Amino acid sequence: MALQGISVVELSGLAPGPFCAMVLADFGARVVRVDRPGSRYDVSRLGRGKRSLVLDLKQPRGAAVLRRLCERSDVLLEPFRRGVMEKLQLGPEILQRENPRLIYARLSGFGQSGSFSRLAGHDINYLALSGVLSKIGRSGENPYAPLNLLADFAGGGLMCALGIIMALFDRTRTGKGQVIDANMVEGAAYLSSFLWKTQKSSLWEAPRGQNMLDGGAPFYTTYRTADGEFMAVGAIEPQFYELLIKGLGELILLKIQQETVSCQARQTLLSVKQWPSLQPKSWGFVWL
């Protein structure tokens, strides 16, 4: 496996860290998860492929045990807020002095610096601060966070895993480890670079929820079926849209013909101003 022979020490935390370490374990790394005394089970249930060791890091002798583990490990993954590891005498300067090859991965919400770096938060807060949350949500409703997928997992755990593998790759050339500041605010933003890059384009011209990709378009959304289930429609290109229309059957063609000449229908249907009149209310009953 790609990460055969790589050893990881994961300091137990919620969602993002466990997911990151699980990815490493899945691809072959040997992962040791350090759990706190008194913790009863793994809340995030992302312990696949790991082994667990309970260690009291707050005790100097406990911290000393961790330092010994890190001397012989490739990666340390810590999920705490800024300053916590330093307070335990387990900061990067100390651990990397003992093991210059150590990759010290710090996966936090707000990062290792900045005015919010000592505050508590969760996925929705990181997503909010990143700017990304402001673009997600239906028209007329408040912004909506898609569970904890974008900040905890995509911008957090996965982004951190990417950084760790890059550091491992870099180490094959330099022989040295490094510190990684992986935080969910910046991770969620970077993941969503497309939003900033297309901000000036027509893609986001309308208010939130009325654009093509955020719920405004009749051909890019979900519809309820007769049995209370759902179908997803993503027919953007004209040739796919044609097939969508065809698949929806005669009723729709009738409706289009009633509204306009059929050869103009495509133009009309693709015109943003027409979308609201073609939304679920008019189409919802038609599904095969």
* CB closer to other proteins out of 226 and 263: 226
First to last CA, the chain: 46
Query: Can residue 233 be called a binding residue for other proteins (CB under 8 A)?
Result: yes
Catalytic choice (26, 122, 170, 181): 122
Smallest distance from other proteins to CB 136, Å: 5
| Runs of H (alpha helix) within 155-206 | 159-174, 184-191, 193-197
Clarify whether 35 is annotated catalytic.
no
Among 155, 148, 94, 86, CA closest to 118: 86
Pick one of 2, 54, 261, 286: the residue that binds other proteins (CB under 8 A): 2
Smallest distance from other proteins to CB 117, Å: 8
Smallest distance from other proteins to CB 235, Å: 8
Clarify whether 152 is annotated catalytic.
yes
Query: Can residue 45 be called a binding residue for other proteins (CB under 8 A)?
Result: yes
Part of the chain binding other proteins (CB under 8 A), chosen from 30-38, 71-79, 209-217, 256-264: 209-217
d(CA 275, CA 268): 9
Query: Can residue 169 be called a binding residue for other proteins (CB under 8 A)?
Result: yes
Kindly give the pairing relationship between strand 179-183 and strand 50-54: unpaired
DSSP code at position 93: H
Residues in the chain: 288
Containing H/E element for 180?
Answer: strand 179-183
Residues 11-30 that bind other proteins (CB under 8 A): 15, 19, 22-23, 27
Residues 24 and 164 sit within 8 Å (Cβ to Cβ): yes
Structure token digits, residue 275: 């979308």
For other proteins (CB under 8 A), the number of binding residues is 103
Smallest distance from other proteins to CB 285, Å: 14
State the burial class of residue 18 (Cβ atoms within 10 Å of its Cβ: 0-12, 13-18, 19+): buried
Pick one of 170, 270, 283, 287: the residue that binds other proteins (CB under 8 A): 170
State the burial class of residue 232 (Cβ atoms within 10 Å of its Cβ: 0-12, 13-18, 19+): exposed
Query: Can residue 275 be called a binding residue for other proteins (CB under 8 A)?
Result: no
Binding map of other proteins across residues 86-105, x = CB under 8 A, - = no contact? --------------------
Pick one of 40, 93, 120, 226: the residue that binds other proteins (CB under 8 A): 120
Catalytic residues: 122, 152
